[in-house]
């Protein structure tokens, strides 16, 4: 077996953590870590078997002196250094600081209605029979190098349990904060379980107050039981030196409904992986995404929908705008298994490039093994419509605002899919700021501001 700097890095970090940080006495957690580390000594995860995107991140790991924060920072109320600014939205907010769950004395919150939220490692200690039937059910394959990385080195994550027959009206919000000048290496493992006939919404965001060359590798596993409804919102606004790998794995049972909206406003190097398995009949997945990149930013969306059962429906709509020398990739893959008759699966990817040096690569793909299906896919990449631009200019609108209007009209369809009205309004605002060049990285999180200054833009007058 070829010893690479990457494999050596992982083994060294694992040895460092196993000497004290992996404190659970549960042998099943230790077995998970051990199994993943062993994968790095097999050819299936060697550098010869990975793609160019994974290679970029691996090279970054080998070149950068990343560190893992071995102890949590002294407790401070989150309100002292972080203010959420989603206007008029009321959420239960839970936060992680440099990979550690923030709490004063209660690592788990048990609500009167039976909802459990808090530290995954604490949930393993208190409710192992609830956690282990679901944890790490996504098998590591030969090319799942970052899933294996997370499974080998995660020290905590958010655990959410929604019991049966419960309609949770107040959304939950997960904020992962980086506040360090060090080059932090963070592996966060989240687990969400939604019981039968239940529903709720979840907002996830990543924020940096101080940042070096951070590497965040997040894995979220979601399990939706019969007749559930779950809305997942992810908003990303990262600095140029950051790497963010965000992987979401969803398993759906009969008549469950999954909705996702993943929006990337700024990126250093961002990869979003979303894998959905429709395991039982009449399950529905609606997946929306928007990426707005410029300069030399990179964003990739990898979508995989696996139709296993009959009578299921999936719909994908992803849109992107790339400026300057930015690069975006869309890889969409739908599989319809032989037993998945009467499947309806649709996939659309639309893109706009604003310069000759901007690149957007799209690869929609259907793999169908059933004969009674309705499936389609389509992808377009082009520039702003010259005729539409001429029409707006002829109505007295300057070229800058005319271009922003066309881009806003193109992007707003994704924000329109958001069901939480206050969150939808916030997305409208952030899209306008981004297209106006006003969304700066001194304000890292798209959900908070460091000041109360009311910003006005030329485009606002057009929409009024």
Q: What is the pLDDT of residues 28-50, one digit of tens each?
A: 888 888 888 877 666 545 555 56
In the chain, the percentage of residues whose pLDDT exceeds 70 is 84
Whole-angstrom Cα distance, residue 47 to residue 62? 12
Q: Which residue has the higher pLDDT, 240 or 370?
A: 370
- State residue 283 phi and psi, 5-degree precision: -85, 150
Q: Is the pLDDT of residue 453 over 60?
A: no
- Please answer whether residues 306 and 336 qualify as being in contact, where contact means their C-beta atoms are separated by less than 8 angstroms: no
Return the bridge partners of 60, or none.
Answer: none
pLDDT band at 236 (very low <50, low <70, confident <90, very high): confident
CB atoms within 10 A of CB 353: 19
Q: Is the pLDDT of residue 20 over 80?
A: no
Count of structural domains, the chain = 1
Give residue-wise pLDDT tens across range 403-415. Answer: 888 988 999 999 9
Q: Is the pLDDT of residue 443 over 60?
A: no
Q: Average pLDDT for residues 329-341, to the nearest whole number?
A: 96
Query: Residue 23: what pLDDT?
Result: 55
Q: Is the pLDDT of residue 442 over 50?
A: no
pLDDT band at 206 (very low <50, low <70, confident <90, very high): confident
CB burial class (10 A; 0-12, 13-18, 19+) of residue 442? exposed
Q: Average pLDDT for residues 113-140, to the nearest whole number?
A: 91
Collapse the DSSP code of 383 into the 3-class scheme (helix H, G, I; strand E, B; otherwise coil) and give the result: coil
Q: Average pLDDT for residues 111-124, to the nearest whole number?
A: 93
Q: Is the pLDDT of residue 452 over 50?
A: no
pLDDT band at 193 (very low <50, low <70, confident <90, very high): very high
Residue span of the structural domain in which 241 resides? 5-463
Report the alpha-carbon angle 319-276-372, nearest 5.
Answer: 90
Query: Which residues lie closer than 8 Å to 381 by C-beta, 6 or more apart?
Result: 350, 351, 352, 353, 360, 362
Q: Which of 294, 207, 304, 195 is nearest to 260 (CA)?
A: 304
Whole-angstrom Cα distance, residue 356 to residue 8? 40
Return the bridge partners of 350, or none.
Answer: 319, 380
Question: Tokens standing for 447?
Answer: 């959900």
Long-range contacts of 405-411, Cβ-Cβ distance < 8 Å, separation of 24 or more: 405/459, 405/462, 407/321, 407/352, 407/435, 408/432, 408/435, 408/459, 410/319, 410/321, 410/350, 410/352, 411/290, 411/292, 411/319, 411/321, 411/435
Query: Residue 80: what pLDDT?
Result: 65
Query: Residue 76: what pLDDT?
Result: 72
Range in 175-189, 192-206, 368-382 the model is least confident about: 175-189
Q: Average pLDDT for residues 158-174, to the nearest whole number?
A: 94
Give residue-wise pLDDT tens across range 57-75. Answer: 777 777 777 888 877 777 7
Output the pTM of the full model. Answer: 0.89
Q: Is the pLDDT of residue 53 over 50?
A: yes
Query: Residue 430: what pLDDT?
Result: 86
Whole-number average pLDDT of the chain:
83
Q: Is the pLDDT of residue 319 over 50?
A: yes
CB burial class (10 A; 0-12, 13-18, 19+) of residue 34? middle
Range in 97-101, 226-230, 446-450 the model is least confident about: 446-450
Q: Average pLDDT for residues 217-237, to the nearest whole number?
A: 94
Query: Residue 454: what pLDDT?
Result: 36
Q: Is the pLDDT of residue 164 over 90?
A: yes
């Amino acid at each position: 077996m070829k010893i690479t700097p990457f494999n050596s890095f992982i083994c060294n970090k694992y040895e460092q953590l196993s000497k004290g940080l992996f404190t659970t006495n549960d042998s099943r957690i230790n077995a998970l870590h051990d199994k993943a580390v062993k994968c790095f000594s097999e050819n299936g995860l060697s550098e010869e078997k990975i793609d160019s995107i994974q290679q970029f991140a691996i090279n970054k790991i080998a070149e950068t002196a990343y560190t893992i924060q071995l102890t949590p920072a002294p407790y401070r109320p989150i309100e002292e250094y972080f203010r959420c600014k989603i206007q008029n939205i009321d959420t239960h907010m839970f936060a992680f600081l440099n990979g550690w769950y923030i709490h004063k004395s209660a690592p788990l919150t048990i609500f009167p209605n039976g909802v459990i939220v808090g530290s995954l490692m604490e949930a393993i200690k208190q409710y192992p029979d609830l956690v282990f039937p679901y944890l790490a059910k996504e098998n590591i394959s030969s090319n799942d190098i970052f899933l294996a990385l997370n499974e080998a080195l995660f020290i905590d994550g958010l655990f959410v349990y929604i019991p049966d027959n419960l309609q949770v009206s107040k959304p939950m919000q997960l904020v992962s904060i980086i506040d360090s000048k060090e080059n932090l290496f963070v592996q966060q493992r989240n687990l969400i379980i939604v019981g039968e006939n239940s529903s709720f919404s979840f907002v996830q965001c990543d924020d940096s107050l101080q940042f070096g060359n951070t590497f965040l590798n997040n894995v979220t596993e979601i399990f939706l039981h019969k007749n559930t409804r779950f809305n997942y919102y992810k908003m990303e606004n990262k600095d140029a030196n950051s790497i963010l790998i965000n992987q979401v794995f969803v398993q759906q049972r009969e008549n469950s409904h999954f909705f996702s909206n993943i929006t990337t406003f700024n990126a250093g190097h961002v990869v979003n992986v979303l894998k959905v398995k429709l395991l039982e009949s009449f399950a529905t997945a609606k997946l929306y995404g928007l990426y707005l990149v410029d300069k030399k930013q990179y964003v990739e969306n990898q979508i995989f929908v696996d139709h296993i059962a009959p009578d299921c429906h999936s719909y994908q709509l992803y849109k992107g705008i790339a400026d300057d020398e930015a690069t975006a990739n869309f890889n969409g893959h739908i599989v319809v298994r032989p037993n998945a008759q009467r499947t309806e699966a649709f996939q659309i990817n639309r893109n706009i490039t604003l310069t000759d040096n901007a690149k957007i690569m799209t690869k929609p793909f259907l793999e169908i093994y059933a004969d009674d299906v309705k499936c389609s896919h389509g992808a377009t990449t082009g520039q702003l419509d010259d005729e539409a631009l001429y029409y707006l200019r002829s109505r007295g609108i300057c070229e800058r605002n005319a271009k922003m209007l066309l881009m806003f009209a193109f992007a707003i369809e994704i924000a329109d899919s958001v069901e939480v009205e206050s969150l939808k309004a916030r997305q409208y605002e952030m899209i306008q700021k981004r297209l106006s060049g006003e969304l700066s990285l001194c304000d890292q999180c798209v959900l908070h501001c460091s000041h109360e200054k009311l910003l006005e833009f030329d485009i606002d007058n057009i929409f009024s």
